[in-house]
Structure 1
């Protein structure tokens, strides 16, 4: 978008998938595909990169706010259907191929993580996949009473990417494995508990943020002033439920256990007496680990463990290789077909069970397809 905020009228700007305006020296970028829960197309990723450079080069701008249009979602992730079609068409290479989408997305996310000015992400509503890649880069991540955070990629034959092998490591390892493998959906308070949000506020509190922003003074600590605008008064929007399951998560998601062993542990535990909420949690967790892609569950487990020892740039490089193998020779197309295209909910994974996933197959997915400087993200950072 080339027009300046002052020269753009409401009607034509509504046609854009990314909106940009400046309020009192703060740039506001709005993902504007509410009917698609603001899912990211390749064009949107490219536009966001252009706008980020525009903000970086404007010395008058003191901060950046990322938000989603509509009340239902910040960003539901990447445009998986478009990626599926490209994969079906064998359109990997070139400027518009599926590989370049991930290269561009990861570069954008990395630039957000390393941006020189404070970023605020309003994680209101559905915030999944690519939305987490954007949101987790922010210095202030604001969840709400409507927030639904998840990294559900193993369900469609991918792994939690967009830097997830790095940012999920903020949690204890057992919680990271639980969230990353099962794709469990977290509410706002749970997101704070898991260190994936800095605050949780009632959704209505954000409705008037522009008026508070317009009245702000930027003479002192900008981050503190932003927190006053977006968090204060800091009413928690209800209590989370995840903390109550922490003992079960620690018991079953041992870092030394393969997913096959975690499943066996859950099954054995279901034979014991439990409260109704505990039994429901055990059943839901077992259901996820026995229905998501067996290969990508084991690959994801290993990638999450490796990511705990990696820099952000190293995590992005590892994820790009894994995603490439998952789309080019793995379960991705079948997962999307089953859950989003045909919607029969009966993916034919290859192999079909965890028992059949060979260690050498897992290592193949984790081995980089590129050598050194040939990696598309070789220059990303240390």
Structure 2
């Protein structure tokens, strides 16, 4: 086993002589939150495995029992914003560009990647998981894109991910930051298989026993068969999916032209599920809510590469604005305090302000993600 920057890398030999690579995020005390070093180390190792003909598949998981990955290291990002006085921010811009480049690599990886999404999977964790060819959730999985609570936006490909969920469930989840379970993840297309916590070792042993072809498509099918067999043997019962049960109502409440209308419709619903959703949107950053509506709409006909370029434009504007630093302060650094958003309410957000967040700060030929 080798360790780089809080990511453990190891390989397993299979019966056919091929190799399975495993990358384990190992920052358990921070719920495996991604640092820039972790992102860069994982990117470099995936490139090596991509180019190694003996490697046929990758497993991506997180250390400990609490989380696969709770997101990015927003404390360090917060420090970089304050250190740059909300101006050009080399660390922050490098962080987001590197993270999106890693996510894009996973989406387009020519070999199977199995992501073990046990425990908390949020923000940057969703970015890693969504692009994998085989996404596994477990009984402990708790997933969310809660960026509305910190004045960011659902990035890491969120424009692509949320926009491809059934109906307008992605819009609902992005606006409210609603936490979902394994069954919700299966319904919305974030996950492919549901296995028991603690059974990753069984998956690895089954993979070691496979006679791999060493060719992409055939090996994808071998993983499909192996995971399906384990799932059928376990015969686990999925929990109820509140998103699925609420699908028709979600369609109704999101059939609106503004976050204010959507909030009003959600508030008119009865039950804890709707009350929590309303609170998430009402207490969240007003500008973020508008960004969510626009990012999904604008990404509808974009390529995946253009989505990541658009999100980097947005992320850099968020670093230079005040809401991200304010949201992190209130949520993490001074817990219990209320964030002072600017603008302060949904009705105060101007279309001009929203549109500015989508403008690139670089000419097209110099965009940091221009080569995707």
Given the two structures, how large is their TM-score scaled by the length of structure 1?
0.89
Q: Match of 2:224?
A: 227
Name the CA distance, whole Å, in 1 between partners of 2:81 and 2:293: 25
Q: Is the 8 A contact 2:148 2:281 kept in 1?
A: no
Q: Match of 1:129?
A: 123
Using the TM superposition, name which of 97-106 and 169-178 deviates more.
169-178
Q: Match of 1:21?
A: 10
Count of residue pairs the alignment pairs up: 359
Q: Match of 2:310?
A: 318
Structure 1 residue ranges, 4+ long, deviating more than 4 angstroms after superposition: 91-94
In structure 1, stretches of 5+ residues that fail to align are 271-277
Task: Give the C-alpha shift of residue 173 in structure 1.
Answer: 4.0
| Cα RMSD, aligned residues only | 1.8
Q: Match of 2:107?
A: 113
Measured at CA, do residues 193 and 44 of structure 1 come closer, stay the same or move farther in structure 2, by a change above 3 Å?
Answer: same
Task: Give the C-alpha shift of residue 61 in structure 1.
Answer: 0.5
Q: Is the 8 A contact 2:5 2:37 kept in 1?
A: no
Q: Match of 2:278?
A: 286
Of residues 119, 127, 152 in structure 2, which corresponds to 1:158?
Answer: 152
SS of residue matched to 1:121: strand
Q: Match of 2:367?
A: 375
Of residues 74, 82, 85 in structure 2, which corresponds to 1:88?
Answer: 82
Task: Give the C-alpha shift of residue 231 in structure 1.
Answer: 4.0
Name the CA distance, whole Å, in 1 between partners of 2:228 and 2:335: 40
Q: Is the 8 A contact 1:125 1:147 kept in 2?
A: yes
Q: Match of 1:273?
A: none
In structure 2, stretches of 5+ residues that fail to align are 14-18
Task: Give the C-alpha shift of residue 264 in structure 1.
Answer: 2.2
SS of residue matched to 1:77: coil
Q: Match of 1:275?
A: none
Q: Is the 8 A contact 2:88 2:320 kept in 1?
A: no
Q: Match of 1:259?
A: 259
Q: Match of 1:242?
A: 243
Task: Give the C-alpha shift of residue 109 in structure 1.
Answer: 0.9
Superposed CA deviations along residues 55-81 of structure 1, whole A, max 9, x for unmatched, are 012100011111111111111111000
Of residues 192, 201, 210 in structure 1, which corresponds to 2:195?
Answer: 201
Residue 171 (structure 1) aligned with residue 165 (structure 2):
yes
Given the two structures, how large is their TM-score scaled by the length of structure 2?
0.92
Q: Is the 8 A contact 1:201 1:231 kept in 2?
A: no
